[in-house]
Amino acid sequence: MAKAKTSLTAVERRAEELDTIASVLPMERRDELAELLTDQDVETLKHLVERGMGDNTLRALTSDLAYLEAWGLAATGRSLLWPAPEALLLKFVAHHLWDPEKRANDPDHGMPVDVDDNLRRQGFLKSIGPHAPDTVRRRLASWSTLTKWRGLTGAFTSPALKSAIHLAVRAVPRQRRRKSAKAVTSDVLAKLLATCATDNLRDVRDRAILMVAFASGGRRRSEIAGLRLEQLTVEAPIAVADGPPLPSLAIHLGRTKTTSGEEDEVVYLTGRPVEALNAWLAAAKIDKGSVFRGIGRWGTVSRRALDPQSINAILKQRAKMAGLEPGEFSAHGLRSGYLTEAANRGIPLPEAMEQSRHRSVQQASSYYNNAARRTGRAARLL
């Protein structure tokens, strides 16, 4: 009995430790993570926070660490070994990069059924089939990074591991898929916003999320989820010839995926998105801290920020309500949709990039919707 009490105390302590860094590292499923991660895992995350590692990088590392620990427990019955032996790394590759055709004839090929079922019950596995090679490489890179931060060295550069990944990728070629099958252009956005037409608190919040995310240049879901009131600056209204001045707002992005914390990246909102954001702040009575928050069953607004995955879930839910196919859209579609819409309206790419904050023309132009290119004049020269 005493042992159970000690274990419970350890879990509660880890939950509290995770909570202390939640403002820097917003995380869903905190209590589940407290049970899954070890004391040393949590100490490593705290250390990375104190060293000033970027918020997005920390979120990715935490997500990957949680998955790795869950997989390790399911596959070996124990928490991960640090440093990981080469055999464990090879097992990870074998469980995640496999040939579906071979699996049909050999049930032992790929991830074992009991491991697969375990991860699905916990919500770590959703799609069917082998993982994308980039996902496997990223998780191995995160594993390597966390190993180094613990002052250890691993077998991540071993020839056997590199060869295993290379052979697995060659055996099962995959086409690279877009993060969002379809761009959320203005016509799609209008349908999504039509589902947020009431003064219901969720409608007011979701309307603000969709309009702010799109109009601010197609912000990443992590940037919208992590947005704080302290990042907003009221600007002078914008004069227009045929109506009253339009409200204007600046968003100071701080550290993003492509910038450092020292750079003051700024994007601007004008008109309707500002009004939608102000309506949410007033309705939710938010005067400091996180801008976009969860809403409880009885309409209670949480003090915590939404997690990035919730932004994706909100967009998919609104797509379903609008009669669209949710699987064709994701939060990333707002980013590609912003640039696609800019192209459709004849806005020069460099001007659109000033708002989207893309660093490379090649990267920005890659977000233009393939469907628009397929039906455009450039594809019909003959």
| Sequence ranges of the chain with CATH classification 1.10.443.10 | 186-379
Average pLDDT over residues 324-348: 82
Collapsing DSSP states into helix, strand and coil, what is residue 323? coil
| 204 contacts 196 by C-beta, under 8 angstroms | yes
pTM of the model: 0.55
Q: How many CA atoms lie within 13 A of 35 on its CB side?
A: 7
Residue 344 to residues 90, 214, 352, 371, Cα–Cα distance (Å): 47, 15, 12, 12
Instruction: Please tell me what DSSP assigns to residue 231.
Output: G
Joined tokens for residue 364: 């920005």
Q: What is the pLDDT of residue 205?
A: 97
- The residue ranking higher by pLDDT, 8 or 327, is 327
Per mean pLDDT, which range of 16-30, 84-98, 120-134 is the poorest?
16-30
The terminus-to-terminus CA distance of the chain in angstroms comes to 80
CATH code of 186-379, in short, is 1.10.443.10
Residue among 381, 369, 382 at smallest CA distance from 179: 369
Average pLDDT over residues 341-362: 70
Q: Buried b / exposed e across 253-277, counting CB within 10 Å, b at 16+?
A: bbbbeeeeeeeeeebbbebebbebb
- CA torsion sign for 153, 154, 158, 163 is negative
Q: What is the pLDDT of residue 32?
A: 66
pLDDT one-digit tens code per residue, 179-214: 556 888 889 999 999 999 999 999 999 999 999 999
Q: What is the pLDDT of residue 220?
A: 86
- The residue ranking higher by pLDDT, 358 or 178, is 358
pLDDT one-digit tens code per residue, 15-53: 666 665 655 454 555 666 767 787 788 788 877 777 766
- CA torsion sign for 344, 346, 350, 355 is negative
pLDDT one-digit tens code per residue, 141-187: 999 999 988 888 889 988 999 888 888 777 665 554 555 568 888 89
Instruction: Report whether the peptide linkage leading into residue 83 is cis, meaning its omega lies within 30 degrees of zero.
Output: yes
Averaged pLDDT of the chain: 81
| 282 contacts 263 by C-beta, under 8 angstroms | no
| 38 contacts 69 by C-beta, under 8 angstroms | yes
Residue 17 to residues 46, 47, 67, 191, 294, Cα–Cα distance (Å): 8, 12, 19, 42, 22
**pLDDT band at residue 6 under the 50/70/90 scheme:** very low
**pLDDT band at residue 340 under the 50/70/90 scheme:** confident
**Rounded distance, CA 282 to CA 286, Å?**
7
Q: What is the amino acid identity at position 11?
A: V
- The residue ranking higher by pLDDT, 374 or 216, is 216
**Rounded distance, CA 286 to CA 305, Å?**
12
Q: How many CA atoms lie within 13 A of 326 on its CB side?
A: 9
Collapsing DSSP states into helix, strand and coil, what is residue 261? coil
**Rounded distance, CA 242 to CA 52, Å?**
48
